């Protein structure tokens, strides 16, 4: 069964009731979650029930070793994550035999997080789990919980390999939420090609967080990176420290406006000093390049939009079918509020903190408790708090940058107003094609069904390592082939030919001394890992999968580990080591590469306008040639440093489109640079694909050429950045018309003249974003989509 309904709709109660009942009947329950924070929150809720027969415990990387034996022998409700299941529980299934024999239910919470390559790995881990259960005579019920998703039953079936019923009707009560789309202003800085640069989303989030906390609004700020979360918290604390120093207050504390977003009216002498006016929202909703753009879409107590499958769209009930309205001047200036008369202004900065992975478990629990109790009024966090953690009582949520999917957006926005009160959610756009498109086209968000979740468990580069792990756990037999999918027999033959498995009459066996689980890096891209070592102490900090090492730990890269920042002194690929030293640079780094692509096989094709759309297998040769240095606060480019790294070859899947010479000849006659036009269209289409394929732009790549060797035509490729493919390009092929139409609109609606990071420039372009032709890209896509 999969329950796919909105935030705070009661999913936890739906699985907790039968799970606790199973424990009372003498059974056991296994609870899987993507994050430690959610497991800790669920454990707290279980213990608050005070049911002595339920012996619940977390079994994750934070669990002390002395407690692990007790958990294996005595716990009947174990909360863990796919990583521990993969590396610890399944390889040692014999030690868990008593638990497995009595296993009645497996709860897979927040399962919409299992997408792409990570989701494909988790799908195979769940199949291995089913084998281990069957070994001990157990056939537990799978109960999945997810935020609103498109086709949840089909997704759950691909994730578990089992037939699924689905529950999608959400009748839970909700307060209204106002969603604001916030575009940072353009700065005086200039980037590549003289393109204008916007103020960063993290800098805007820090200002807004300080403003909201100062107005006594309990706020959660979601930031995409650990470093970003720390930066937002530090900047907001610094602003509050300035306010505490500069503003004298007397008077009676106002009545708290918890759950009421209408702030107290400022006294005249307070309003003048409350904030720097440059940090408030501009009242302009026109094309003033120096102004922030804010678009507010109020949501009310109406039924959420429903797609054709009956899946509820968790938009908190957008009114007017998502028609966005420009914020009036009073709303636009609503952040210029009076500062409540706190008993101790000097304590203001302590009301803001950061929360992310890498903190000690006890520190994370303290922060979660402080946020619930109101001791902390503002928390800057990574998506570690996106999933299901009960932080009721929040008034506002800031989202610094598009979180990747509509499901994640509504999930993060749903953190506010969880106690049924009205709430505010602000999406702050990054200087990025997709973010800019969404700010200018709110109809792409509101009233739209959420995305289908993409994963490909049959990817041989995912399936192979898990077949080895399964054989090491319990030798594989012919009866197991159906569990792992239709391609299992072919992959097993390859593994035998590689010497990784040995075929015997009884089945397939793992015969090596190494741990088979080390073959699968479930959150990375596979390959032999690169060890990250601190040069001054020899301390092993962690590891990076080999495909990512060229971009993440190249010489000169800024590397962040558990909140500490390091500079990479040397990347030695032969030794498998990256030497780093502690540093605190004021810039970030972005690797850039050059790419060649060749077509191995075309699996599907169909006409698209005067051209043709294709999907198939390709071989991509990439070589990282340099890296950019950008200032953290402003995004200003500080330099482009060369690198000398060997090329890497990737066999993957791609979607590509071609146009015949007859279609592009009129463009060339009009003086359009066809190569620059294709290059610009490629960049923008990579930026917009995540809106249709539930991926990040860093999960995909692209190549464009005026005349490709394999097609002899103008060709634009977009490919999956993972070995064997991850399903993103295939999704692009299926949604090509919508995807490319949105790409054209994103370029055409951008207010720059010649192209900028908000439309056609890419932060990872190996050609220094040259040549690019914005006008030509629009003409090229118009030509391609003319018949559509």
> Do 650 and 619 form a contact (C-beta atoms < 8 A)?
yes
Which are the contacts of 656, defined by CB distance < 8 A and separation ≥ 6?
599, 613, 614, 715, 716, 717, 718
Report the percentage of the chain scoring pLDDT > 70: 82
Question: Minimum mean pLDDT among 351-355, 400-404, 635-639: which range?
Answer: 635-639
Residue whose pair of structure tokens reads 């005249």 in the numeric block: 268
Q: Is the pTM of this model over 0.85?
A: no
Burial environment of residue 193 by CB neighbours within 10 A (0 to 12, 13 to 18, 19 or more): middle
**Considering Cα of 125, then 700, then 542, then 579, what sign does the dihedral take?**
positive
> Do 144 and 108 form a contact (C-beta atoms < 8 A)?
yes
Nearest alpha carbon to residue 776 among 673, 665, 688: 673
pLDDT-derived band at 305, boundaries 50, 70, 90: very low
At 357 the pLDDT is 56
Which are the contacts of 654, defined by CB distance < 8 A and separation ≥ 6?
597, 615, 616, 617, 618, 620, 717, 718, 719, 720, 729
Give the pair of three-digit tokens for residue 272: 């003048």
Nearest alpha carbon to residue 553 among 573, 525, 537: 573
Alpha carbon 611 to its chain's center: 33
614-629 pLDDT, tens digit per residue, is 999 999 998 998 998 8
226-284 pLDDT, tens digit per residue, is 778 888 998 999 888 888 777 654 444 444 333 333 333 333 333 222 323 233 333 33
Cα–Cα dist 277/274, whole Å? 9
pLDDT-derived band at 203, boundaries 50, 70, 90: very high
Give the pair of three-digit tokens for residue 486: 């239709």
pLDDT-derived band at 751, boundaries 50, 70, 90: confident
- What is the average pLDDT value for the chain, to the nearest integer? 81
Taking residues 763-767, report their average pLDDT. Answer: 72
Which are the contacts of 292, defined by CB distance < 8 A and separation ≥ 6?
182, 183, 184, 185, 204, 281, 282
CA atoms in the 13 A half-sphere facing the CB of 517: 16
At 757 the pLDDT is 84
> Do 168 and 308 form a contact (C-beta atoms < 8 A)?
no
């Amino acid at each position: 069964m999969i329950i796919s309904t909105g935030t705070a709709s009661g999913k936890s109660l739906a699985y907790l009731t039968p799970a606790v009942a199973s424990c009372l009947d003498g059974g056991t329950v296994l609870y899987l979650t993507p994050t430690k924070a959610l497991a800790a929150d669920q454990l707290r809720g279980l213990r608050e029930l005070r049911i002595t027969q339920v012996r619940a415990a977390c079994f994750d990387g934070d669990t002390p070793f002395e407690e692990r034996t007790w958990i294996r022998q005595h716990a009947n409700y174990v909360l863990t994550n796919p990583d521990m299941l993969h590396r610890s529980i399944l390889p040692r299934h014999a030690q868990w035999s008593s638990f497995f024999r009595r296993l009645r239910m497996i709860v897979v919470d927040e399962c919409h997080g299992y997408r792409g390559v990570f989701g494909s790995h988790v799908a195979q881990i769940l199949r291995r789990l089913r084998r281990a259960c069957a070994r001990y005579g157990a056939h537990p019920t799978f109960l999945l919980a997810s935020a609103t998703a498109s086709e949840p039953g089909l997704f759950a079936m691909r994730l578990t390999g089992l037939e699924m019923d689905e529950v999608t009707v959400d009748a839970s009560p909700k307060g209204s939420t106002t969603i604001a789309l916030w575009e940072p202003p353009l700065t005086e800085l200039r980037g590549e090609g003289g393109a204008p640069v916007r103020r960063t989303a993290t800098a805007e989030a820090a200002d807004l967080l300080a403003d909201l906390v100062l107005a006594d609004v309990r706020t959660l700020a979601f930031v995409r990176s650990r470093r970003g979360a720390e930066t937002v918290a530090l900047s907001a604390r610094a602003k509050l420290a300035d306010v505490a120093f500069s503003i004298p207050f007397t008077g009676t504390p106002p009545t708290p406006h918890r759950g009421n977003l209408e702030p107290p009216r400022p006294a005249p002498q307070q309003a003048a000093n409350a904030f720097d006016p440059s940090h408030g929202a501009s009242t302009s909703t026109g094309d003033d390049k120096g102004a922030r753009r804010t678009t507010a879409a109020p949501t009310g107590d109406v039924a959420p939009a429903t797609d054709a499958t009956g899946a509820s769209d968790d938009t908190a009930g957008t009114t007017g079918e998502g028609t966005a309205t420009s914020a009036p001047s009073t709303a636009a200036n609503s952040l210029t509020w009076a500062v409540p008369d706190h008993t101790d202004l000097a304590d203001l900065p302590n009301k803001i903190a950061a929360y992310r992975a890498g903190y000690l478990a006890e520190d994370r629990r303290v922060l979660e408790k402080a946020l619930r109790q109101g001791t902390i009024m503002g928390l800057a966090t990574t998506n570690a708090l996106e999933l299901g953690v009960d932080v009721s009582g929040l008034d506002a949520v800031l989202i610094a940058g598009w979180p990747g999917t509509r499901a994640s957006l509504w999930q993060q926005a749903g953190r506010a107003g969880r106690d049924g009160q009205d709430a505010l959610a602000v999406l702050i756009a990054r200087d990025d094609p997709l973010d800019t498109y969404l700010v200018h086209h709110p109809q792409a968000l509101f009233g739209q069904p959420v995305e289908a979740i993409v994963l490909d468990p049959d990817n041989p580069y995912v399936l192979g390592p898990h077949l080895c792990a399964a054989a090491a756990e319990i030798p594989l037999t012919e009866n197991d082939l159906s569990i792992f999918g239709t391609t299992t027999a072919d992959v097993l033959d390859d593994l035998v030919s590689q010497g990784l498995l040995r075929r015997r009459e009884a089945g397939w066996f793992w015969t090596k001394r190494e741990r088979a689980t080390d073959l699968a890096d479930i959150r990375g891209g596979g390959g032999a890992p690169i060890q990250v070592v601190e040069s001054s102490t020899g301390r092993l900090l962690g590891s990076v999968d080999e495909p990512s090492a060229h971009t993440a730990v190249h010489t000169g890269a800024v590397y962040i580990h558990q909140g500490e920042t390091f500079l990479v002194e040397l990347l030695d690929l032969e030794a498998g080591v990256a030497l780093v030293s502690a540093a605190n640079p004021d810039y970030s780094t972005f690797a850039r590469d050059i790419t060649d692509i060749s077509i191995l096989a075309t699996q599907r094709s169909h006409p698209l306008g005067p051209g043709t759309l294709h999907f198939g297998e390709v071989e991509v040769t990439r070589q990282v040639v340099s890296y950019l240095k950008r200032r953290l606060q402003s995004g200003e480019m500080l330099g482009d440093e060369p690198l000398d790294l060997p090329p890497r070859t990737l066999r993957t899947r791609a979607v590509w489109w071609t146009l015949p010479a007859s279609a592009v000849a009129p463009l060339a006659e009009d003086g359009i640079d066809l190569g620059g036009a294709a290059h610009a269209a490629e960049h923008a289409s990579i930026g917009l694909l995540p809106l249709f394929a539930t991926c990040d732009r860093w999960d995909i790549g692209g190549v464009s050429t005026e005349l490709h060797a394999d097609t002899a035509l103008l060709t634009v490729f977009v490919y999956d950045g993972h070995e064997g493919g991850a399903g993103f390009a295939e999704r692009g092929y299926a949604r090509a018309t919508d995807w490319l139409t949105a790409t054209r609109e994103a370029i055409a609606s951008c207010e720059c003249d010649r192209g900028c990071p908000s439309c056609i420039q890419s932060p990872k372009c190996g050609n220094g974003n040259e040549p690019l032709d914005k006008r030509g890209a629009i003409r090229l896509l118009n030509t391609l989509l003319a018949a559509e």
